[in-house]
Amino acid sequence: MAKDLTPKGSIIYKILILLLAAGLLFTILYPKNIWQKEEDNTKACRKNMEHILYAQLTYLTDNNAYEDTLAKVVDFIKSDSTQARLRTFITADSVLSFDIYEFFKTGKDSIAKTIVDSLLTFGRKYDIDTTAALVIDSLKTFPKYAQQIDSIAFSVLNNLHLCPSTLKPYLVSVNNDSTIKKITIACPLDSLDAEAVKKDFKLYFLGGLKLKNHGSIDNGEKSWKKL
C-alpha cells in the first residue's frame, strides 16, 4: 500500500489558507449584504412616504382635509365599494403607476406585454405622451388586468405603514387650519435606533452598518432630493 508522503505541516498550511480565504470572503460579502439590505430599505421607505402622500391627497380630495391617522386614510380608500377612490389613488401616485407599468412591461404575460409595447409604439409614431397612467388606463379595460392592477394597489396600501428598517410607523403631522393645508410625512428612524445598531456585534462590528434617517416629505418636497 502506498504511503501518503504529504507532510503534516503542509496539510495544516493548506487548511489555514482555506480558513483565511473563507474569512476574507466573509469580511467582504457580509458587510456588502448588510449595506445592500439597508439601501433597499431606504428606497422602500422613501417609496412608502410617497405612497402615503398620494393616499393623503386622495383623502383630501373628498374631505377637504388631511388625516394624521394613516390607518383611517387607507381604510377610506379601501372601503369604497365602487373603487373610485382606489382608481384616483393609482392615477395620482406616479410612483405606483410606474411600478405597475414595469410589472406588465417586464412580466411573463405576453398579451399584456404586447399591449404595452403597442401603446408605446403608437405613442412614439404619433408623438403622443404615452405615460404610465395612460398605459394602465388601457390595461384596466381588460377585467383580468384590472384585477391585477387593483391587487397591486391594495398590497401597497396594506404595507406602507411601517419603515422597513425599524418596523416603526411613519410620523404624519397635518395642519388643516391654514389657508393652504399642510402635511409632513417623516421616517421614524431616530438616534435610539442608530444606537441600538451600534450595540449589535453582527450588524455594527462585523457588518459596519450605520443607520441614518431616510428623510421626509414636507408638502410634497422630498428631503432626499435636496442632497
Amino acid present at 204: Y
What's the rounded mean pLDDT across residues 93-107? Answer: 90
pLDDT at 46 over 90: yes
Single out the residue of 193, 184, 138 nearest to residue 163, CA to CA: 193
Higher local confidence (pLDDT), 134 or 225: 225
List the chain domain ranges: 41-225
pTM score: 0.84
58 φψ region: left (φ > 0), alpha (ψ -120 to 50), beta (else): alpha
pLDDT at 213 over 60: yes
pLDDT of res. 24: 60
* For the chain, percent of residues with pLDDT exceeding 70: 88
Least confidently predicted of 8-12, 111-115, 160-164, 169-173: 8-12
pLDDT of res. 132: 78
